Amino acid sequence: MRLRKRMLDDLDQDIRDHLERETQDNIERGMSAEEARYAALRKFGNVTRVKEETRDVWSVVWLEQLIQDARFGLRTLWRSPGLTVAAVLAIGLGIGVNVGVFSVLNGAALRLLPVPRAEQIVSVNQILHGRTSRDIHGEASMFSYPEYLNYRDHNHVFTGLVAYEPFVEATLAGGNVEQLLGTAISCNYFGVLNEHPAQGRGFVDSDCAASGGNAVVVVSDDLWRGRFAADPSLVGKRIILNRTAYTVVGVARPGFRGTEPIPSAFWAPITMQKAFEPGRDRLADDNMSWLALLGRTQPGVTMQQVRADLGVIAGRIDQLHPGRTTSLAIRTATFFNSPEERSFLIPVASVILAAFALVLLIACANVANLLLARASARHKEIALRLSIGASRWRLVRQLLTESLLLSLAGGVLGSLIAFWSFLKITQFVISHLPHGLPTFVVNVAPNIHVLAYALGLTLITGIAFGLIPALRSSRLDLNTILKGDSVHSGPGKRSGRSLLNALVGSQVAVCMVLLLAAGLLLRGLYYAQTVNPGFEEKNVAEAFFDLRAQGYDESRATAFVERLRERIGGDPGVIEVAQAECAPLSHDFSVGTFTVPGRPDKISIEYNHVSPEYFSVVGIPIVRGRGFGPGENAPGVIVTESTARRLWPGEDPLGKTLREDGGEDSVIGVARDAQVSHLGELNTTYLYYPAGPRDDARTYVLVRYAGGFTDVAKGIRDASRSLDHDVSVDVIKLEDNLEIWRAPSRIVAALSGALGALALLLASIGVYGMVYYSVNRCVREIGIRMALGANGGDVMSLVLWRAMRPVLIGAIIGMAVCAGVSQVLSSMLFGLSAHDPIAFVCVPLFLLAVALFASYIPARRAVRVDPMVALRCE
Amino acid sequence: MSTKEQKERIELLQGTLDLLILRTLLLGPMHGHAIAKAIEFRSDDVLQVEQGSLYPALHRLIKRRWISVEEGTSENNRRAKFYRLTAKGRRQLVLETNRWDALAGAIARILRPAEQESES
């Protein structure tokens, strides 16, 4: 380093000495002093370049130059504050939106679990191949209890392996009856996760010693604060969950809401499973998927070792089940671990990120436009520097430094806004989800992933919008520029314009894709809001009773429901009360496999058990035959029209028979088609059985009313409470079920609408800037035309045509791309038609109108130019 | 005024110029101008080195520690930097010379195949 300094400090002196010596030699050879000096200089070559190259030899030069470039860049940016602010805002917007979306996805899919040393926690899932038939409660990739014990006791890689059943529903009795979502856990859960309750204790092995033996519970901080008003003496007290008394042994740490995206309100030992779900003993069942597995790896154990070790155990289990092979999916645990969830989440996330990246692309194109426009103003400066010996690469680097400074400023601004606003936005969205969707927690706070993403995006952006202008403006025809013809000596006038045109065209194309997608989604939403589901959803209240979970047996349940219906039926304003196994569009489905005499194939048909009043309460007419009579339990079924057409085409369905599992039913009536199972699917096969006492333990009560909903809802709650204080009942409007079906398309439509508006704003700024710039470039041409007698209208249409041509081309490309994309969208979202004519006509017209307006303003300015001014200003 | 052409010429000269400098310094320590003169003189003025390109080359060689630099007084009592071949540079010179001979021989064999054959 010292050597370098000594060498460079004396460089000027050395070169001067050298030149003097050479001059002296020349004089001795007989030249005049002046001649000798010139000859020496000629022989030496370009002094500045020699100095540059000599400095380059000492490699840290790049750092020096970077600082130098950054300083110079800052000065330049400072000198044109308008451009700087516009560019920083455009990039900030683009990067901000992208970083925000990424931080949400990061919170959902990439963040490790919120427990100490989470990087050691791995999730284990299994995929079963081959001839298997298995009960699934939750997801297919989960484990049975005996399988869990096998992995827990025979692995050599974990300090502990945890099993839990996510989403255990329980009714909390006392005061306001409340429906809670909790977790049944193996008793090493808190210990292995290293998660210590804020009060009291977690579970110990003895809590899980015997099945149903130890009724203890840890409650969440939210439940403790909300329901128990932060009672400091709650630990040690008893609470009633699903009719069983549990002793509270602990209150969880405030930040810990469990290991699933939906927060858990309590944790109970897995051995209490039977108390939560009476009548089912899952612990003994070796062929049921219901437990999620998390293990903490021993220090120094690699993922490979984990896979190998657990693979051996899986192989041993497979030997007990001939014809079955298990493959394990093992990964560092996040909130979404199972292959099912990930295979859904990852493509959706990619589509979303791609859409937002498109917006950033538009912002980039805008900034590139601005820089190109400015580069033409800087031709002289650049030409001068090239001519005194700066290398082209050096100039490109300097221009890139400038654009990176811009993108860095934009990135920092955008990221800060994103970190702040997306916290608020996520809260807002989650609190405005329709009633009935579970709340979930997403931690969108920035972490290392988000910061890395923001930084990477910023750098790519800086290079993306800076590279083309930098490369172009450093390739100049020096002679023309230095002679002073600054306007007409861009890097090839024609190619300059075509590049601008390409930028504008691509902006318009991207914008068109986003806007069209938004338009299609909005149309789909409109259709979804107005579609007739085939039943009358208004003025019907829906109440769900899961009495089996409350410990009711069949006869008690029947007695309860009968008395309940009597009371509700007597309420003022109530017209009719019905019962059903599945309420319309309630996301409750029952499917059976049937055969029809005379047909070889098996047909799976969705079915429902309904009381006789069902058809009139939800307004589905019986079009042939009869409905069910009171007390009917005979083997008769009612099919829908589509089912009749499908099973007995061209025949009278009445009296035909259907077989299922040995039973045989004859058709007594035909009901009109209705979208009671999936909104948007009209022609699915569906049939109705008469409801019997067996169905009372788990039933929907549907009430058609004439007055206000609140009174009816209160009547139902009061009736239920007067019969049994501890039964939880949730009364909603039947039409709310439709909202849940519509929610995804509404959210997506709102999102893409906002994105499309942003894209439109950016693209119209881009079009405006481009036209403004190109009009400025041809002011002289316009002046000449006007001076020669062209009229304003002709010039105007010329300018507009030049501006609109790339817009039109971009619009057509965008429409073509969107036609392809909408095929995919329409399969994903309800009610969407891939080639909706209204969207495909209105959106392009709208976009073109905006573009036309954006080019009209600068064009008008051009036409008003006084020819003399235009000609003189050259 | 095309930067591209010049650049190519520099690159063409680079390795060769390093070799010539090392060989010249074998005679003893010299200052920059003297090196340029020596190269011209010893090549019977055939090689017209663009003298400026000497300096980046000298700095490169110093950085590689093939030559060292010391302050000294020149023949007419002026202070100047004197460049001296180091032991490492000497080894490098042998290596580079061999390489050059091999290259020159190979090119000569391609350009004048007939003469080569008739001589042998």
Measured between beta carbons, the chain B residues lying within 8 angstroms of A18 are: 32-33, 36, 51
Here the tokens at position A779 are 């002011």
Domain co-membership, A47 together with A142: no
Mean pLDDT of A277-304: 87
Nearest to A359 by CA among A81, A82, A99: A99
SS3 (DSSP) at A159: strand
Measured between beta carbons, the chain B residues lying within 8 angstroms of A14 are: 32, 55, 80-81
For residue A47, give its domain range. 2-58
pLDDT tier at A489, thresholds 50, 70, 90 = very low
Separation of alpha carbons A767 and A803, rounded Å: 8
Q: Give the pLDDT of residue A161.
A: 94
Domain co-membership, A424 together with A364: yes
**Residue A359 CB contacts under 8 Å (≥ 6 apart), including other chains:** A93, A94, A97, A98, A510, A514, A755, A758, A759, A762
Asked if A16 has any chain B CB less than 8 Å from its own CB, the reply is no
AA letter at A261: P
Asked if A50 has any chain B CB less than 8 Å from its own CB, the reply is yes
Nearest to A43 by CA among B110, B47, B60: B47
Domain co-membership, A483 together with A560: no
- What number is the ipTM of this complex? 0.79
Flag whether pLDDT at A754 surpasses 60: yes
Q: Give the pLDDT of residue A487.
A: 46
Domain co-membership, A588 together with A735: yes
pLDDT tier at B4, thresholds 50, 70, 90 = very low
Q: How many helices (H) and strands (E) does chain B have?
A: 5, 2
Evaluate whether residue A384 is within a structural domain.
yes
Instruction: Among B50, B52, B56, select the one facing A57 at the smallest CB separation.
Output: B56
Asked if B86 has any chain A CB less than 8 Å from its own CB, the reply is no
Q: How many domains does chain A have?
A: 4
**Residue A754 CB contacts under 8 Å (≥ 6 apart), including other chains:** none
> Strand A540-546 vs strand A730-733: parallel, antiparallel, or unpaired?
antiparallel
Mean pLDDT of A321-332: 87
Which stretch, A172-176, A253-257, A491-495, A517-521, has highest mean pLDDT?
A253-257
Evaluate whether residue A645 is within a structural domain.
yes
Pick B5 or A849 by higher pLDDT. A849
Q: Give the pLDDT of residue A745.
A: 66
Would you give the distance in Å from CA A660 to the centre of its chain? 42
Asked if B78 has any chain A CB less than 8 Å from its own CB, the reply is yes
Domain co-membership, A696 together with A678: yes
Separation of alpha carbons A427 and A442, rounded Å: 9
Evaluate whether residue A89 is within a structural domain.
no
Domain co-membership, A205 together with A303: yes
| 17-56 of B, contacting A, C-beta below 8 A | 31-33, 36-37, 48, 50-53, 55-56
A612-668 pLDDT tens trace? 999 999 999 999 888 888 766 667 899 998 888 888 888 888 888 888 776 788 899
Evaluate whether residue A402 is within a structural domain.
yes
In three-state form (DSSP H/G/I as H, E/B as E, the rest C), the secondary structure along B22-68 is HHHHCCCCECHHHHHHHHHHHCCCCCCCCHHHHHHHHHHHHHCCCEE
Separation of alpha carbons A556 and A575, rounded Å: 26
Evaluate whether residue A100 is within a structural domain.
no
Nearest to A45 by CA among B77, B80, B59, B9: B9
B3-119 placed in CATH 1.10.10.10:
yes
Evaluate whether residue A87 is within a structural domain.
no
Domain co-membership, A700 together with A682: yes
Across the interface, do B80 and A391 touch by the CB < 8 Å criterion?
no
Across the interface, do B52 and A50 touch by the CB < 8 Å criterion?
yes
Domain co-membership, A391 together with A271: no
Asked if residue B67 lies in contact with residue B86, where contact means CB atoms within 8 angstroms, the answer is: yes
Residue A595 β-bridge partners? A659
Evaluate whether residue A492 is within a structural domain.
yes
SS3 (DSSP) at A645: helix
Pick A450 or B77 by higher pLDDT. A450
Domain co-membership, A766 together with A778: yes
pTM score above 0.80: no
Residue A540 β-bridge partners? A704
